[in-house]
Amino acid sequence: MATIEEILRVERIEKDIYRGPAFPSRLVRTFGGQVAAQALISATNTVDEAFHVHSLHGYFLRSGNPDMHTVFLVDRIRDGRSFITRRVTGIQDGVAIFSMSASFHVSTDEGIEHQDQMPPAPAPTELADRREDESEEDKAVYKEWDNFDIRIVPREKMVTSDYFAAQQRVWFRYRHPLPDDQVFHIATLAYMSDMTLLGSSRVPHPDVNPQGASLDHAMWFMRPFRTDEWLLYDQTSPSAAGGRALTQGRIFDLDGRMVAAVTQEGLARTGRTLPKDQYARQDR
């Protein structure tokens, strides 16, 4: 398993051109979180350190080949006094597989402050480590993320609301100490945010195994955080229709601070014959 440090170590090829490394994978396609995180690092490398990313909006255009490097082309859309905008295109074999816009904000601005309250959840240490108690599904999917500690809150331990169609809560963190650089933690969270979120759309349909894939992904970063410390991913799926599912997530640290928000739409198509495990590679 590659470490997150290795995954985020993009190589500068030329001005505004970067290359993200590839690693052996159990997945049939490049993990979307990896592409988004490498694209974000590429964009950040073109921005003055006085600015910090506050939002990103990405589209997964084609399935990536996990055995291939991804080249990232960065367009400098705007350099303002308070905001900077970058557009990044991820390319494999001459075609675009990912497109992202990222906005950076100067770190000295001040304004009003408020946030939603963190929902109740059992402490992560009260939940089983999935690495020590793996189901067959876990073996296929979570082995890819062995360096991450992912603990889904059981339904019987969740406080839910009748106003939401689908709800799921997940504690997660990186298992090993990481550098203090906040840019590194933001990119790591971009990687992690693609984990489990689409699964929230399947909660009301436990007996259905739809074809799933990320279509687009948006994130907003509110407050500093560490990804090697526990974060609660509060997930909902407000709607699924037409073979697509909309999912949303709010991410809180152990102190109850809301540090990020995520919205993602994914494929949720049924009626097609799928491999027994649509995630695991059949040739490995």
Classified as helix, coil or strand, 187 is: helix
Concerning whether 248 is annotated as a catalytic residue, the answer is no
CA-CA-CA-CA torsion sign (82, 11, 176, 248): positive
Concerning whether 25 is annotated as a catalytic residue, the answer is no
Which helix (DSSP H) or strand (DSSP E) does residue 33 occupy? helix 32-44
Choosing from 34, 167, 194, 253, the catalytic residue is 194
Choosing from 42, 200, 201, 214, the catalytic residue is 214
**Residue 63, amino acid:** S
Question: At a CB cut-off of 8 Å and minimum separation 6, what does 12 contact?
Answer: 18, 45
Paired strand residues for 217: 58, 264
Concerning whether 214 is annotated as a catalytic residue, the answer is yes
Order of strands across the sheet that contains 51-60: 11-14, 17-20, 70-79, 83-92, 95-106, 51-60, 211-221, 258-269, 244-253, 231-241, 167-174, 148-152
- Smallest CA-to-CA distance from 199 within 157, 152, 156, 164 is with 152
Residue 141, CB-side half-sphere exposure with 13 Å CA sphere = 16
- Smallest CA-to-CA distance from 271 within 213, 215, 209, 214 is with 209
Instruction: For residues 183 and 219, give the distance between their C-alpha atoms in angstroms, rounded to a whole number.
Output: 14
Q: Pull the structure tokens for residue 29.
A: 């396609």
Choosing from 25, 34, 38, 264, the catalytic residue is 264
Instruction: For residues 125 and 130, give the distance between their C-alpha atoms in angstroms, rounded to a whole number.
Output: 12
Instruction: For residues 155 and 220, give the distance between their C-alpha atoms in angstroms, rounded to a whole number.
Output: 27
List the catalytic residues.
194, 214, 264
